[in-house]
Amino acid sequence: MELIVIFISASIVNNFVLSLFLGICPFIGVSNKFSSAVSMGLATTFVMVITAMVSWLLYFKLLLPFHLTFLQIPAFILVIAALVQFVEMVIKKVSQPLYRALGIFLPLITTNCAILGLALLLVMRDYSFVESIVFGLGSGAGFILALSIMAGIREELELRDVPKAFQGAPITLIVAGILALAFMGFAGMI
């Protein structure tokens, strides 16, 4: 039951993008096409789940017992960078078209603060190993949700008559703000 609460909390109530405002860079950068938004979301979820596992192990099995908790931020960054490289190699091997579609955005997941946020949050909230994995899954799902909704809206906007002054970045940011506002409606649900 607790796991379901964590999942729903991470994906909807405390959506990483729309409530915690993490990972805005790929949110704005990759959400112009629905297909690339979903692919990016899936790649990020994959990285998030593995990051959750590895950072949990790193923190609770290495840093905490040896009183090195002050090293958590550089250690997590190291883990995330290595993992993203690994994911890049895997994707390149498994699906060349996906690799080319994601292009530069794959290594950019390294700088995605949502991943670091994930690691730091699970440490702060003192989750168990399984809870961390579910947390990773939930935040990844929320990320995919936010990106795909945004992509859908943006694709629709391209066919609409947006005033010249608002075309491009301005209307995107306004839509993002309204979306964040909408997701506030979930507050207090859990």
Partner 1 sequence: MDMTIIIAIATMGGLGLIFAGGLAIADKKLRVEENPLIAQVNEILPNANCGGCGYAGCYDFAVNLVEGKAKVNGCPVGGNDVAQEVAILMGVDSEASVKIVPRILCRGGNKEAIKKAAEYYGPLSCKAMALVAGGQKECSYGCLGGGDCVNVCTFNAMFMNENGLPEVIEDLCTGCGMCAKACPRDIIEMHPIDREVFVLCKNHDDPKRSKEVCDAACIGCGICARKSDGGVEMVNFLGIIHYDKLDPEKIPFEKCSTGAITKIHNNSLN
Interaction site with partner 1 (CB under 8 A): 58, 62, 66, 68, 70-71, 74-75, 78-79, 82, 85-86, 89-90, 92-93, 96, 100, 103-104
> What's at 36, amino acid-wise?
S
**Minimum distance from residue 187 beta carbon to partner 1 (Å):** 38
- The angle at the Cα of 176, spanning 171 to 182, to the nearest 5 degrees, equals 125
Q: Which of 77, 102, 83, 82 lies closest to 92 in space, CA to CA?
A: 102
At residue 137, what are phi and psi to the nearest 5 degrees?
A: -60, -45
Question: Which residue, 4 or 89, is less far from partner 1 as judged by CB?
Answer: 89
> What's at 172, amino acid-wise?
T
**Minimum distance from residue 121 beta carbon to partner 1 (Å):** 21
**Minimum distance from residue 102 beta carbon to partner 1 (Å):** 11
Question: Which residue, 1 or 66, is less far from partner 1 as judged by CB?
Answer: 66
**Minimum distance from residue 62 beta carbon to partner 1 (Å):** 8
171: how many CB neighbours lie within 10 A of its CB? 17
Residues contacting 164, CB < 8 A, separation 6+? none
Q: Position of tokens 């290595």?
A: 82
Question: Which residue, 85 or 167, is less far from partner 1 as judged by CB?
Answer: 85
Question: Which residue, 119 or 179, is less far from partner 1 as judged by CB?
Answer: 119
